[in-house]
Amino acid sequence: MEIDGHTELYGFIAYPAKHSYSPIMYNCSFDHYKLNACYIAFEVAPTKLTDAILGVRSLGIQGFNVSMPFKKTIIPLLDEITPAAQRIQAVNTVKNKNGRLLGDSTDGAGFFADLQARGRQLKKKKIMILGAGGAGRAIIAAAADYDLAEVNIFKRQNGTYQKVQDWVKKVTAGSKTRFNVYPYSDIHKMKDILSQSDILVNATNIGMTEQKLPLAEELVASLASRLLVYDVIYHPAETVLLRRAKERGCQTCNGLGMLLWQGALAFESWTGQKMPIEEVKKRLY
């Protein structure tokens, strides 16, 4: 890649940002199509987001990804957001359309694109999701667009529990899929639901920094080998949950596939081209 006066600029805005795999993904894709474009990670202090977006507008940055802690706080700084972003009130992708900044959320669609790319059938399947934070909400909202049998969500019974129940009911209205929210502490219900599930998703951050399980030991010991266990965490590449699930004979996936596919959707939105998935995988895995 040779940068010149015509090079289009894309980027990643987060804090921290230096750990991101996104520059590898996008620059590999730009090189594949010989596009005169460059993708850079911008580490923006939480108090400087407004300045950063003014910079995006002034410099004519063509598109960028957003991660924590800005997925929600960026919304008032944009000109428009898509229905997908509206449903979860969070943005992870922004496109500059002739000076107007359009925010989108590709996280949930990226999760399901990863499952489909792995040949996983979704029709009439049952998914159990642990957690209803950012990643969980994106997956829940996107699940309403697929012909699943059930989506069962387990969430801590804290001050936001009722709000999450109300939100799930609202964003899934009209879907043929049944959605249920249960207290994370209800081990008996969790065991019952787990025994009927086809896919288990850990959408919490448990396992990211400590060697901990998001499930009770007795539940991990009962994981059926037919189960796909998906952890949205990708660093470490294999959490304790994934290691233990693999020992039980389960198919396992970390969050790198979700990262890859949400990025593929963003890349196509920006350039009109399909991300060269296999080429990018070789760089990431």
- 23 is in which domain, residue-wise? 8-105+258-284
The amino acid sitting at 264 is A
How confident is the model over 64-85, as pLDDT tens digits? 999 999 999 999 999 999 999 9
For the purposes of burial, counting CB atoms within 10 Å of the CB of 209, is it exposed (0-12), middle (13-18) or buried (19 or more)? exposed
- State the sign of the Cα–Cα–Cα–Cα dihedral 62, 68, 69, 74: positive
Report pTM: 0.95
How confident is the model over 161-188, as pLDDT tens digits? 999 999 999 999 999 999 999 999 999 9
Q: How far, in Å, CA of 251 to CA of 245, rounded?
A: 8
Q: Is 234 annotated as a binding residue?
A: yes
- Which residue spans within the chain are E strands per DSSP? 8-14, 37-43, 63-66, 80-81, 93-97, 100-104, 126-130, 150-155, 178-183, 199-202, 228-231, 251-253
Q: Is 257 annotated as a binding residue?
A: no
Q: Would you say residue 264 has pLDDT above 80?
A: yes
Q: Is 255 annotated as a binding residue?
A: yes
Q: Is 92 annotated as a binding residue?
A: yes
Is residue 195 domain-shared with residue 273, that is, in the same domain?
Answer: no
Whether 282 sits among the annotated catalytic residues: the reply is no
Q: Is 67 annotated as a binding residue?
A: yes
Q: How far, in Å, CA of 277 to CA of 117, rounded?
A: 10
Is residue 165 domain-shared with residue 182, that is, in the same domain?
Answer: yes
Is residue 131 domain-shared with residue 240, that is, in the same domain?
Answer: yes
Number of domain units in the chain = 2
How confident is the model over 33-48, as pLDDT tens digits? 999 999 999 999 999 9
Q: Of residues 71, 95, 125, 155, which has the active-site annotation?
A: 71
Is residue 27 domain-shared with residue 70, that is, in the same domain?
Answer: yes
Quote the mean pLDDT of the chain: 97
Q: Would you say residue 2 has pLDDT above 90?
A: no
The reply to whether 2 falls in a domain is: no
The reply to whether 3 falls in a domain is: no
| pLDDT level of residue 275 (50, 70, 90 thresholds) | very high
